[in-house]
Chains A and B, each alone.
Chain A
Amino acid sequence: SYEVTQPPSVSVSPGQTATITCSGDQLGYKNPCWYQQKPGQSPVLVIYQDNKRPSGIPEQFSASHSENTATLTISGTQALDEADYYCQVWDSSTASVVFGGGTKLTVL
């Protein structure tokens, strides 16, 4: 089955830029999306269709991808950005949704 790999944790200082990556075979061709989940809340879509943000998601969130990697970038990181971030792709070969294991972002 298809696998998506994310680092378990990323730390960033307030005001700095955080980058969270996910990787997988040909991942860049599988429409990688990103979700934010704060403690006790349900996930929220923050990036979709390459680098689009749903209504209400601030411009500080952006994304890019290459052949095997996708990157979520959070500029001007604040304490309220502390959350788990998940990368998701669609594996068309098995018609399955695949999530990475999640990355816990800590703003120190």
Chain B
Amino acid sequence: EVQLVESGGGLAQPGRSLRLSCSCSGFFFGDFAVSWFRQAPGKGLEWLGFIKSKLYGGTTNYAASVKGRVTISRDDSKSIAYLEINSLKTEDTAVYYCTRDELYRGYYYMDVWGKGTTVTVSS
């Protein structure tokens, strides 16, 4: 069974950093890109960025709204992707999801989602 499990959420203080993990199983992790999303309470889905598979260079791209404050990385030997958020703000409070990204004719879409991990930023 294909599974993505996010972890690392919890209560964090403004200004601090947080690293979330996305542990993957049931498929060959190295073949897929991984995206990170978040969803603030009562709001829609916000794409934060993604990391391509090594086959496509392992490069990253980020949403303009978080560029410079977020870093996505991957460890193919452990089948884990990471999301690091710096200089946390209260507005970063959200459920954070990772996804397995399929590539079709040059277009990415998200075929499997994790259950999410909740991050609350508060002093």
Given A102-B44, A102-B45, does the pair A48, B116 have CB atoms closer than 8 Å? Answer: no
Q: Interface residues of A toward B: which range?
A: 20 to 34
Partner of A42, one of B47, B104, B109, B113: B113
Pairwise interchain contact B110-A42, C-beta atoms closer than 8 A: no
Residue among A33, A54, A84 with most chain B CB within 10 A? A33
Complex Cα distance, B104 from A90, in Å, reads 10
Complex Cα distance, B61 from A44, in Å, reads 23
Interface size (B, Cβ < 8 Å)?
24
Binary contact track A87-108/B, C-beta < 8 Å → 1, others 0:
0111010111111111000000
Nearest Cβ on chain A to B7's Cβ, whole angstroms: 14
Please give me the residue from chain B that is nearest to A89 by CB atom. Answer: B107
**Which residues of B have CB within 8 Å of A33?**
109-110
Q: Does A26 contact B (CB under 8 A)?
A: no
**Which residues of A have CB within 8 Å of B97?**
42-43
Pairwise interchain contact B44-A86, C-beta atoms closer than 8 A: yes
**Which residues of A have CB within 8 Å of B108?**
90, 97
Q: Which residues of A contact B (CB under 8 A)?
A: 1, 30-31, 33, 35, 37, 42-45, 48-49, 54, 84, 86, 88-90, 92, 94-102
